[in-house]
Structures are given as structure tokens and as C-alpha cells.
Amino acid sequence: MATLSKQKIGSVLAKQGILIAFAVFIVAFTLANNKFLTVDNVFSVVRSSAILGVMALGVTFVVISGNLDLSVGSMMSFSTIVVLDLHDKIGPFLAIPAMFAMTLCLGAFIGILVGYLRLNSLIVTLGMLSAIHGLTLTYSGGQNMDIADKEGTWFSVFGQGTALGIPVPILIFALLAAVLGLMLSRTPFGRKVYAVGGNGTAATFSGIRRARTVFMCYILSAFCVATAGLIQASRSLGSQNTVGQGLELEVLAAVILGGASLMGGSGTIFKTVIGVLILGFIQNGLLLLGLQFYVQYVVTWVIIILAVWLDIAAKRGRLWSPIA
């Protein structure tokens, strides 16, 4: 009976550990500071996490397919700078689709290298991180971007607007999460993503076009990055050309924290959203406790290590390696 009980507890922790951890964090910070769970603070945290969250939604597809995307931070910088620059040159109606098209081209290029040429995704996206950063600096001439007429543009609605009392960034994040969640869990494409990430060779022999599936995952990731860049540009109506630098690690931390395996084949959009919120609420809780913002970096590192450890432990059925 005792062994059976331990197995049940282990099964629950493996499947719902992220939700239990989220609840524990919420309770702990609420007891530590009574301002933590107020409506204003909750909206503030979710709104500030929306950009990270939107990017994490796309990267979830990439990770489940058994690959990585470390270029999303630089790509977000590129998207933000491009749409701000084109806003004053051709107007927001044309600037937005032009920025999306350019960002999708970058995603397609990565998808070709990883999907069709079968190059290592870590090496490719790490290289693209630097390449896109250089492209952004070249495009901007090393200068930051600002919209000239900040008072007379409707462009700010994506980052500063509200609808039914809810900030628009939160609505965009929620809508994308709902659509992509259904795509991943309820469509043939979603099943192909899981199959390719779980066992690419078996998926190929089953008639699944692995290269096309991986390619589409990077297209989805680029679309989400472009959406995040739109929100970022709209929120401040100006930006540094390094605004997305370092975000790729936070995005990956949120996805892994949500239960997506670095080995591919597992993960959900819902749990990625929870992972994003955990990071956001942890950072907010630390600030409310009076700790400096740079403590967040240490906490994020600890979270990544724990998440990867627990992911591997869940697959081998024990916390410690049998050969340790």
C-alpha cells in the first residue's frame, strides 16, 4: 500500500507539479505581502508578462518538436525596430504587415536550415541570434527608434489600450494562447508536432513530413515574436535596438517550467502560460519583498536548473542518476 501510495503521489507531482508549484508561490507571496494578490497588481504582472508569454507560445511548438530557438530575443528587437521605423515612413497600416512579413522570412530561413537541411537547432539559432542582432543594428544604423508623433497615432492601442477594462496586451496573449492551444491539442498538425518531437524517425516512417512540420513550427515562432514586437513597440512608441536581448533565456525558462521537455514530444500551451505567470509573479513578489531586481536573474537560473532536473528525473523515474 505504501509503495502504491508513493507511486500515486509521484504520478500527481509529475503531471500537475507545475500547478502545485504555482499555487504554493501565490500563497507564499500573498502571506508575505498583502498587496500581492490585489486586482491592480495581478493585472500589472500579467500585462508585463504578455510580451514574454506571446513569445513563449511559439517556442513551445519548437521545443515540443524536439528543437530549440535561441534567436527569439534578437528577432523581437528586429521586429520592434522595423515597425517603429516604418510607422513614420509608410504609416502603421502598411508598417505592421511589412514587419510581420520580414520577421516571418527570418523564421522561414531558420526553418529551412533546421527542418530541411537537418542542421542542429542549437547551433543554427545561436548563430542567428548574433546575425539578427547585427541585422538590427545595420537596419537602424546603431540608433534607437522613436515615433515622431506619439500623440496623434492609434498605433499605441496594441500596447497601451484597454477593452472591457482589460489591457489589450493581456487580451492578445489570451487569444493567441487559446488559438494555439487548440491547434496543438485538437488538430492533425498538433499531433504531428508531438510525433516528430517524440520520435522523428518513427514519424517519418508513418508518413509525417518531418521537415515541413519543423519548418511550420519556426514560422509559428516567428509569428509570435512579431506579435510580441508589435506590443513592445506600441507600449513605449520607441525602443532601444537591444530591447529583446536576453529574453530568449527567459522564454526558454518559461517553456521548460511549463513542462515542455528539451528532448521533445511533451508540453502544452496551457502549462506554458502557467510557466510564464510563475516567472512573472516570482519577479513581482521579489520586488514587493524589497529585493533588488538583479536577484531575479539568480532565481531564474535556479528555476531553469530545477525544471530541467525534474524533467529528466520524471523520465527516468528517480531523482538521482542510477550511475551517480
- Burial class of residue 192, CB neighbours in 10 A (0-12, 13-18, 19+): buried
User: Within a domain: residue 212?
Assistant: yes
**Model confidence pTM above 0.85:** yes
For residue 223, which of 268, 176, 263 has the smallest C-alpha distance?
176
What is the chain's pLDDT, residue by residue, as a tens digit (324 residues)? 555 555 555 555 555 556 676 777 788 888 888 888 888 888 888 999 999 999 999 999 999 999 999 999 999 999 999 999 999 899 999 999 999 999 999 999 999 999 999 999 999 999 999 999 999 999 999 888 888 878 878 999 999 999 988 999 999 999 999 999 999 999 999 999 999 999 988 888 889 999 999 999 999 999 999 999 999 999 988 888 889 988 998 899 889 888 788 888 888 999 899 889 888 888 888 788 777 777 777 776 776 676 666 656 665 566 566 655
User: Within a domain: residue 236?
Assistant: yes
User: Within a domain: residue 272?
Assistant: no
Q: What is the pLDDT of residue 26?
A: 80
Q: What is the pLDDT of residue 236?
A: 86
State the virtual CA torsion across 169, 105, 76, 172 in degrees, nearest 10.
Answer: 10
Q: What is the pLDDT of residue 58?
A: 96
Q: In 3-state terms, what secondary structure has residue 167?
A: strand
Cα separation, 306 vs 241, in Å, equals 32
User: Within a domain: residue 24?
Assistant: no
User: Within a domain: residue 241?
Assistant: yes
Q: What is the pLDDT of residue 312?
A: 62
Cα separation, 99 vs 108, in Å, equals 14
User: Within a domain: residue 255?
Assistant: no
Q: Cβ(275)–Cβ(256) under 8 Å? A: yes
Per the document, the length of the chain is 324
For residue 270, which of 197, 192, 184 has the smallest C-alpha distance?
184
User: Within a domain: residue 107?
Assistant: yes
What domain range includes position 240? 45-247
CA distances from 217 to 67, 69, 121, 167, 289 (A): 9, 10, 12, 28, 39
User: Within a domain: residue 291?
Assistant: no
Q: What is the pLDDT of residue 5?
A: 56
CA distances from 157 to 43, 94, 103, 119, 233 (A): 17, 16, 21, 40, 11
Name the DSSP class of 245: T
Q: Domain total for the chain?
A: 1
